[in-house]
A and B are shown apart, each in its own frame.
Chain A
C-alpha cells in the first residue's frame, strides 16, 4: 500500500508521539485485545497506543468493532484471555470496574451522554459528590466547584439551568466537563492526566457546534489528558486528531498520523475497497410542480413556499434555529403549530390541497406523503420489535385477508425487501435493535419506499451511518426520485446534500434565504451560504 497508512504490523516501529516534550508513558496501551461472542469474533488481536496529551481517533464502520472496543474498556464485557492493557505504563486487570476507571483516570462519554434532563446542570455535573454517602451537602461549595470546573475549560454554562433547557451541544459540553472532572479528581496528586473516551459525540451536532466541542477537546489535552475520539466521520477525525487507528472487521486495518494522509486513503482503509463516491447525476427535472407548500408558517417558520417537480430532490439546510428542520414535521402534521397549504399538482389547480394546521400523520400518509424522522431511536422505528413488524408498521392491514393476518406472506415480503435493500444480516425475524445503525435505517427507508410515496420527507437520512450503507441509502433515495417521487431532505450534512440533491434551499431566520442548484451546488457553497445570514 503506497499510502501513509501503516498496515498492522507487529513489531513495527512506534510512531512518535505528537507532543515532543512529553516524556510521559503512553496514556493507554492496549495489546492483543480480542473478544468473541459465541462463534463470532467481534475483535481480533487489536493493538492501540494513545500517547499522553494526544487526541487519538478510532475510525471504523458500524460493526467494525468500535463499540466492542469501548465496551471492553468500559468493563461491559470481559476480553478473551491474552489481552494486555496498560494505563500510564502500569498493567491493569480486565474487566475494569467503575472504581478501576476512577483509580486509573479513565472516563467515558457515550453518545447518550448520561445526563438527567429534568435536573439542573449543577446536579448533573456534581452527581458523584452529591450522592456520596455520609455527609451533609454543602450547596455553596458544590456551586463553586461547578463554576471552577467550567472556568477551567473556559466554558460559560449556567449551573442552575435545567439540562433539558440547554442546546444539544451544551449538553455534550456538560457531559464532557463532568467526565473530565471525574477523571482528574483522583489524579491531581499522582500527576497522571487521565484519558477521556468520547464515543461518537458529534453526529447529532451541527457543524459550528462540533467546532465548540473540538475546542473543548483541545483544552482538555492542553491540561495533559488524552482523548480517544471514536467516530465514523473521516473529516472530523482528520480535523481534530493527532493520530488515528482504523478498525475493520474487528481487526486493526491501519494506523496513521493525521497530518500525513489524505481522505481517500483513509476511506479506502475503512471500507477495504475504494468507494466511488455516490454522485446523484444531478438533473434539472422539467415540468410542472408535483407538489407545492404555500405560506408555510410555524413557531420557527415565516411564510415559506416550496415547490417540487416530480423526481426532484430538494435539500433543506441552515444553522440551528433557522427552521429548515421544522418544515418536514409541519408537512407531515407531526408537530403542532403549523399552518399553510400543501397542494398536489401544478399551481392554479382546483384542488384545495391540505390545510397544514389540521394535518395529521394519518391524513398525510393518505395523500401519499412519507416521513422518515431523524430521531431513529424514538421516532422512526421500534427497536424491540422484529424487522418484519417495523417494515409493515404503516400498512400491516394490507396483509389482513379473509379474517386473518397473513404472517407468512409478511415474512416472505420482508425477506424480498431486505434483499433488495441489502439489509445485513438478513432475516426478517431479527429485532431492529440488533441491526447496525445503517442497516436499521435501510429497513426504515424501505418501509416508506415500498409504498411509492408522492412526496418523501427525509430528516438526516444518513446520520450515524457508515460509509458503505450511506451509499446504498443515497442510491435508494435517488432510485425513488427517478420513479417520480418528490423528495425533501433536511440535513446538516452539507456533503450529503451536495451529493444527493438537485437543489438546496438554505434557511435563515425561518425563511428561505438562498437557493443553490446546478454548478453552484457544492459542499463549500452550502457551508458558506449557511453562514452568510439572511
Chain B
C-alpha cells in the first residue's frame, strides 16, 4: 500500500482531530472537577454565553474566505450593543426600531470599509484597523464611556431567558448562523465566488466574477453578522458596555484560524469555526474554574491563535507535494 494512501486516510481522520482534542479537554476537566465542571448546567451556560463569540468568529470567516481581513468586527459588536442601549434605555426608542437602527449602522460600517478597500484599493488590514479605532471612539462618545443597563426585557427574553433543553436561545442562533454560513459557503455559487476571489483575484476576474462586488458583499455580510453578535451580546447581558467588544476580536481570529484546521482542513469553514469557538471557551472556562488567574485567559487566547495559524499552515502546506 503506497504511503500516499495512508497519508490521505490520516488526513481524513485529521478533519476531526479538533473534536477529539475537545473531548479530551472536557474529560480532563470533568475528572478534575467532577461536580462543578461535569454538570449539564455548566455546559448550558457555556453554550449560551459563547453565542456572541461564535457569531463574531463566523463573521470573520466570510471576509477571510474572500481574502480580506476585517478587524472592525469587534468594534461593530460594541457599536450595535451601545446603539441599543443608548436608544432603548436613554431615549426610550422601542426595541424593534433600535435593532433596525443597529443593523443600519452595521451596514454603514461594512459599506465604508468596502468603499475604502475596494474603490481606493487600500489593504483591508489598514482600513479596518482604522475603522475599528474610529468606531470605538464614536461608541465612547455616544455612551459617555459609561455602561448602560436596563435594556428591554424582550431582548433578554429572546436571547437568554428563553431556553430549549436548558440552553439559552442565543446558542441556537449561533447554531443556525453556522448552518446557514456552511450552506452558503459550500452549497451556493456565491460561496464558490467568495472562495475563488479569496484564492486568486486575477483568476476570478478573468473568469467573469465581479471581484469588487464579491469583496464588498463579503465585507457587508461580515459587518451584519457582527451586528447580530452585538445584539445577542446586549441581550445576554441586558446591558451595553463601551469597551468589551474589542476583547472579542482576538479569540474570534483564533477560532477562525483554528477552525480552518478541521472539518475542511485548509479552508476557513463554518463548522470548524463553531467547534473551535467552543473548544477555546471550554479551555478557558475549565482553567478559570480551577482558579487560574485572569491573565491566563490572554495567554491562552494568544497562544491558541499562534497554534491555530501554525496548524492551518501545516494543513495547507502538507498537501503541497510536488512529484517529478
Contact = CB atoms under 8 A, between A and B. Distances in A.
B144 interface: no
B189 A380 contact: no
Given A39-B3, A362-B210, A365-B208, A382 B200 contact: yes
Nearest to A42: B324
Contact of B186 (A393, A394, A405): A405
6 contacts: A39-B1, A67-B324, A68-B324, A71-B322, A393-B196, A407-B186
A394 B323 contact: no
Contacts of B208: 361-362, 364-366, 394
Interface string B175-204: 000000000001111011101100110111
Contacts of B202: 378-379
Interface string A381-404: 110110001000110110010011
Interface in B149-191: 186-189, 191
B31 to A, nearest CB: 40
Contact of A404 (B187, B204, B322): B187
Interface string B104-120: 00000000000000000
Contact of B321 (A37, A66, A384): A37
A67 B323 CA distance: 8
Contacts of B207: 361, 365, 393-394
A314 B322 CA distance: 36
Contacts of A380: 203, 206
A404 B182 CA distance: 12
A371 interface: yes
B199 A385 contact: yes
B2 A382 contact: no
A485 interface: no
A476 to B, nearest CB: 19
Contacts of A37: 3-4, 321, 323
B236 to A, nearest CB: 32
B203 A431 contact: no
A47 B315 CA distance: 36
Contacts of A38: 2-4, 7
Contact of A433 (B3, B186, B320): B320
A397 B324 contact: no
B324 A379 contact: no
A65 B322 CA distance: 11
Contact of B192 (A67, A384, A404, A405): A405
Given A382-B196, A382-B203, A407 B324 contact: no
Nearest to B2: A39
B192 A42 contact: no
A382 B324 contact: no
Interface string A14-47: 0000000000000000000000011110100000
Interface hub of A63, A65, A394 (most chain B Cβ within 10 A): A394
A371 B206 contact: yes
Contacts of B205: 334, 361
A332 interface: yes
A65 B195 contact: no
Contacts of A79: none
Given A334-B206, A382-B200, A384-B199, A396 B324 contact: no
Interface residues of B, number: 33
B197 to A, nearest CB: 10
B192 A379 contact: no
Contacts of B3: 37-39
A380 B200 CA distance: 9
Interface string B1-29: 11110010000000000000000000000
B324 A381 contact: no
Nearest to B189: A397
Contacts of A361: 205-208
A434 interface: yes
Contacts of B187: 403-405, 407
Contacts of A434: 321-323
A113 to B, nearest CB: 18
B324 A384 contact: no
Interface in B297-324: 316, 319-324
- 4 tightest CB-CB pairs across the interface, nearest first? A38-B3, A39-B2, A397-B189, A365-B208
A311 interface: no
A64 interface: yes
A84 B7 CA distance: 30
Nearest to B200: A382
A157 B15 CA distance: 52
Contacts of B200: 378, 382
A201 interface: no
A66 B208 CA distance: 36
Contacts of B195: 385, 389
A336 to B, nearest CB: 12
Interface in A313-372: 332, 334, 361-362, 364-366, 371
Given A378-B203, A385-B195, A400-B188, A42 B323 contact: yes
Given A382-B199, A385-B199, A68 B206 contact: no
B316 A39 contact: no
A63 B324 contact: yes
Contacts of B209: 362, 393
A385 B267 CA distance: 10
Contacts of B199: 382, 384-385
B189 A405 contact: yes
B323 A40 contact: yes
Interface hub of A63, A405, A436 (most chain B Cβ within 10 A): A405
Contacts of B2: 38-40
A381 B199 CA distance: 10
Nearest to A250: B324
A381 B321 CA distance: 18
Given A405-B186, A405-B188, A431-B319, 12 more contacts: A37-B3, A38-B4, A39-B3, A42-B324, A62-B324, A361-B207, A362-B210, A378-B203, A379-B206, A380-B203, A384-B266, A404-B187
A11 to B, nearest CB: 27
Contacts of A64: 324
A361 B202 CA distance: 11
Interface hub of B187, B192, B202, B321 (most chain A Cβ within 10 A): B192
Interface string A408-449: 000000000000000000000001011010000000000000
Interface string B122-139: 000000000000000000
Given A67-B324, A68-B323, A361-B208, A389 B192 contact: yes
A225 B259 CA distance: 52
